[in-house]
Chain A
Amino acid sequence: MLMRDSVTAHGWFIVEVNRGDSNKKEVYIVQNRVVRQGRWFMLRNTVGVNTVSIDYVAVSNSNTAVSDTETQLPGTFRNAKTATKSRVSATTVQWQASWSAGELNGQTIYSYALVTETTNYTEFSRVVHSTGITFGANDTLSVTYQLTLTAS
């Protein structure tokens, strides 16, 4: 007897914008797929060979469609924060980071990503918000990325 069934990996970006001037909260939850390079990083970390630290949550103004083969976060404006990393459960791990009021002032953010460094923004996963979110001086942003592995 053997188990032929497989396992599915899903990623979720949870984007929470707090509008400082109105106290309005906007929450977006967008599912995505870990890009090909990110899947390679997962395997390297699993086996413990040529491991990669996936430490940063990043945002950018790129509205280009995500390609499975992209390796860097695109955008003419990019910004990253060191993530707080946690194991939520036996099926879910999580990266979270926040931007304070003023840090994104005047920017329209389309892309949310998980990256391994902040020079070239080497990418693990990215999602594009189709309409973009423009930040004012008093707005704050929290970005959470959850990765799950479930039997299918």
Chain B
Amino acid sequence: MLIPGAGKVEGRFIIEIIRGDTGKREVYSFANRVVAQGRDYMLRNTIGVNTVNINYLFVSNSNTTVSDSETSVPGTWKTYKTATKSASPSDNPAYAQWSATFSGSDVGGQTVYSYALATGTDGSGEFSRILHSTGITFGSNDTLNVTYQVQITAAN
């Protein structure tokens, strides 16, 4: 007897914007695919060979379509925060999570289209990225919370 099925890897960005002037909260949730380089990082960290630290959550003004083969966070403007990292306390449900908060001084005046996770503070070593098609413009009193979760669920 064997289990011939597979595991399904799913990523999700959860974006919460708090408008400082009005107190309004806007929440977006986007499923995405870990890019090819990120999948390589998952395997390397799983086996413990040539491991990488996936530490930085990025936002950028890039509205270019996500490519499976991209390796760095695009954009003429981008900024990052060191993520708070966590793992689920049990295997049901199991998830890995990165989260960070950007203040109005970080993103004020910018229109953000891309949210990403990367290993380098220059945006290199991209693990995953999502593109918000319409973009979000931030004021100086706004706050942005970005959370990225990865799950691996049973699949047949």
Contact = CB atoms under 8 A, between A and B. Distances in A.
Interface of A: 1-10, 30-37, 39-51, 53-55, 64-66, 68, 85-87, 90-95, 127-128, 130, 147-152
A40 B42 contact: no
Interface in B52-101: 53-54, 65-66, 68, 85-88, 90-92, 94-98
B136 interface: no
Contacts of A85: 47-49
Contact of B1 (A37, A49, A130): A130
B70 to A, nearest CB: 11
B131 A46 contact: no
Interface residues of B, number: 56
29 contacts: A2-B66, A3-B68, A4-B32, A5-B33, A7-B34, A7-B39, A8-B7, A33-B5, A33-B6, A36-B94, A39-B94, A40-B87, A40-B88, A41-B46, A42-B42, A42-B46, A43-B151, A46-B42, A47-B150, A48-B45, A48-B53, A49-B87, A53-B48, A54-B47, A90-B40, A93-B46, A94-B47, A147-B46, A151-B68
Interface string B19-39: 000000000001111101101
Contacts of A55: 48
A32 B49 contact: no
Contacts of A32: 2-4
